[in-house]
Amino acid sequence: MKRNELHVMYGTNIQQMTYDLLTKIDLVKELKPTMRIALKPNFVIAREASSGATTHPEIAEGIIRYLQDKGMQHIAIMEGSWVGDQTKRAFHVCGYDKLAAKYQVPLYDLKEDKYVERQVDGIKMQICQKPLLETDFLINLPVLKAHCQTGMTCALKNLKGCLTDAEKRHFHQLGLMKPIAYLNTVLHPQLIIVDAICGDLTFEEGGNPVRMDRLIAGVDPVLVDAYGCRLLGFDTSEVEYIGIAERKGVGSADLSKAQLHEYNTEAKTQSQFVPSRLSQRLGRNVSADKACSACYGSLMHALHRLEESGIPVNKKIFIGQGFRSESEEGLGIGSCTHCFAHSLAGCPPTAKEMVEFLRDNK
């Protein structure tokens, strides 16, 4: 498969779509039976794929069926959920424990993995050992969806699950955009299959799924993300890490030079989808400085629930690691704001706890 190719399969029979897509791209030509092959889905949170947050298990099953039919002997699934959630719980809730048992494929919680330190332009990264050193063929399985901090998330950002929890926090200290791009200069998946079945176009944690009914395959993560941007109506300049990754030589965002191959087009519904951009509006009174995604995402959910209940929050809200030694006039969210007179502890606190705190201190 060439780096400038994108392959899109439309439909609703997810497992068969996946198998057929791998057949179309003739993946077996890239493989050897002795290869250690790893699937890296998106389990940002323990929530079913129908919510629009996580990778459908049917995609993983279609891949495993194809690989085993072609004689591949060493297949594994590995992921590390975001700070504040448990990967093992996500394996269970998302149906991957049953899938692993059915096909005798091991599950690896990368939160428990050893790490290897790599450095890119002075930025040190703790990257989990298994995807970096113990995998010959890494298949990245991101979900195309909205993100409250980066606008959208797809192939490039999905590799953040291959970091230790400490490193995930560190990425936010560094501003998130540059380190996401830099990570992709170190980790190089050989194949990307995007779950664009029903991504949430409001919150990355799911709950507002939008039917798109397609899978997208590619090998260039920059090109894949650029295509995802176009599908969601974003300009690539709105997702800063795409441009940084392109400048670092990770890939090309030039869709005019891409070769697009579409299959089962009679099942295609529409060609563009509209993110709600709700987080931008909800965050108008929020001052975020190096905030982790789990904490910030939960805050957006809390503010949304309060808005739906007709409860305005007019005070300034502060969140993020940048406020660890600060004390501002306003409401602090998370343990990083412990110096504030009014602060909610937790790393991260739950959305329910945030709702109660903000309601009581509005």
Q: In this predicted model, what pLDDT tens digit does every residue of 78-129 receive, in sequence order?
A: 999 877 789 999 999 999 999 999 999 999 999 999 999 999 999 999 999 9
Whether omega before 348 lies within 30 degrees of 0, making that bond cis, reads yes
Q: Is residue 104 part of a domain?
A: yes
Q: What is the pLDDT of residues 196-239, one digit of tens each?
A: 999 999 988 899 999 999 999 999 999 999 999 999 999 999 99
pLDDT of residue 134: 96
Dihedral, 254, 142, 1, 267 alpha carbons, nearest 10: -90
* Residue type at 23 in one-letter notation: T
Shared-domain flag, residues 111 and 21: yes
* Pair of tokens at residue 231: 């599908």
> How does pLDDT run across 153-172, given as a tens digit for each residue?
999 999 999 999 999 999 99
In a domain, 289, yes or no: yes
Do residues 250 and 310 share a domain? no
More confident residue, 293 or 224: 224
CATH code of 15's domain: 3.40.50.11440
How many C-beta neighbours within 10 Å does residue 288 have? 20
What is the C-alpha separation between 234 and 350, in angstroms, rounded? Answer: 30
Same domain, 148 and 183: yes
119 plus 222 within the same structural domain: yes
Range of the domain at 106: 5-267
Query: Strand 342-344 and strand 123-128: pairing?
Result: unpaired
Of the residues 247, 267, 287, the one at which a domain ends = 267
Is residue 273 in a domain?
no
| Domain endpoint, select from 267, 294, 315 | 267
Residues 19 and 155 in one domain: yes
Same domain assignment for residues 85 and 232: yes
Residue 143 banded pLDDT, cuts 50, 70, 90 = very high
Report the helix count and the strand count for the chain, using DSSP H and E: 13, 16
Q: 217 and 100: one domain?
A: yes
Q: What angle do CA 170, 127, 347 make, to 5 degrees?
A: 40
Phi, psi torsion values for 63, nearest 5 degrees: -65, -45
Whether residue 180 is predicted with pLDDT greater than 90 in this model: the reply is yes
Q: Are residues 316 and 198 in the same domain?
A: no
Q: What is the pLDDT of residue 295?
A: 93
Among residues 267, 286, 303, which one ends one of the domains? 267
Give tens-digit pLDDT for 39-68: 999 998 899 999 999 999 999 999 999 999
6: which residues sit within 8 A by CB, 6+ positions away?
216, 217, 218, 223, 224, 227, 258, 259, 260, 261
Q: Quick one: 83 and 230 in the same domain?
A: yes
272 within a domain of the structure (yes/no):
no
Residues 154, 61 share a domain: yes
Distances (CA, A) of 76 to 38, 68, 86, 127: 5, 12, 19, 18
- In whole angstroms, what is the distance from residue 318 CA to residue 131 CA? 35
Q: Which amino acid is at 102?
A: K
Instruction: Verify that 342 and 210 share a domain, yes or no.
Output: no
Q: Where are the alpha helices (DSSP H) in 174-251?
A: 177-183, 221-232, 240-247
Contact 8, 225 (CB under 8 A): no
Q: pLDDT-derived band of residue 325, with 50, 70 and 90 as boundaries?
A: confident
Q: Is residue 304 part of a domain?
A: yes
**Same domain for 284 and 254:** no
Spatial distance between the Cα atoms of 118 and 16, rounded to a whole number of angstroms:
38
Number of domains into which the chain is organized: 2
pLDDT value for 83 = 78
